[in-house]
Every structure is written in C-alpha cells, then in structure tokens.
Amino acid sequence: MAFDDPPKSRIRAATALVIVGTFLAGAAAGAGALRWASPRRPPPPPPMGLPIRELGLSVEQEAKVTEITERHRDELDAILREMYPKVRAVNDEVEKEVRTVLTADQQKRLDELKARRPPPMPRGGPPPPGPPPPGGELPALPRRP
C-alpha cells in the first residue's frame, strides 16, 4: 500500500456520503417536480357572488364565512342539479340552430373542437360546457376539508 493511498474507511465514508447526497438530491428534485406538476387548487368561489376576498378578512372572519357557505352548500347543490338539465337543453338547442348556419367543414371542425375540450375541473363551480356526465345528473360538489 502506497503512503498516499487514503484508508479504506475514508473511501467508504466518501462513497456513503455520495450515495446519501444523490438520494437527497433526487428526493428534493422529485418533490419539486411533483409540486410543480400537480394541479393548483383554485380558491373557493366567493359566496353568493360577494366580493369577500377584497374585504381583507381576518383568519377568524374567513373561518366564519367558510362555515356559513358550507352550511348553505346543500341548497346550492340542489339548485344546480335542478337547473343544469334546463341549461344543458338550451345549450343543445342553440348548438342545433348554429349548426344549420355552418358549412359541413365547419360542423366537422366544431365536432373536433368539442372532442378536445379539457376534462371538467374536479372542484366546485358551475358545470363545464359539453355533454352531461353519464346518467345525465350532476355529482354533488366535493366538501372542503
């Protein structure tokens, strides 16, 4: 063994540090990529169209407003489920009439554009345009945690 050679224990320690460092760097990169790629949760809509976000509410006030809106969520869900089929029917009639004005190529293009629509948002808000969900009924809006 030459005098310049580092002892085996130092080589093992350096190797272990490299492996641990690589693992930590990979974990950090993976966590960052996951956070970057995950969909952003939109803020909940202001209750009943009130400009709540512009009032500068305290944390306590926000909690009380959230409790109030959650208490009325079932009522709003029921109204949306009742009205959605009516809105859908009117939209279908409008599309049917608009198609009579379009050329065959434009109708085909409209069908292609409708097929490429993004999937509906997973949280709250009005139902997206397009065909109703299977069963023709709106699912209940998810509850906030």
pLDDT digits over 113-140, tens only?
Answer: 888 887 655 545 555 555 555 554 445 5
Handedness of CA 100, 104, 110, 116 (dihedral sign): positive
Q: Which residues contact 21 (CB under 8 A, 6 or more apart)?
A: none
Q: Could you give the CA distance from residue 124 to residue 74 in angstroms, rounded to a whole number? A: 12
Q: Could you give the CA distance from residue 83 to residue 134 in angstroms, rounded to a whole number? A: 17
Average of per-residue pLDDT values in the chain: 76
Is pLDDT above 50 for 49? yes
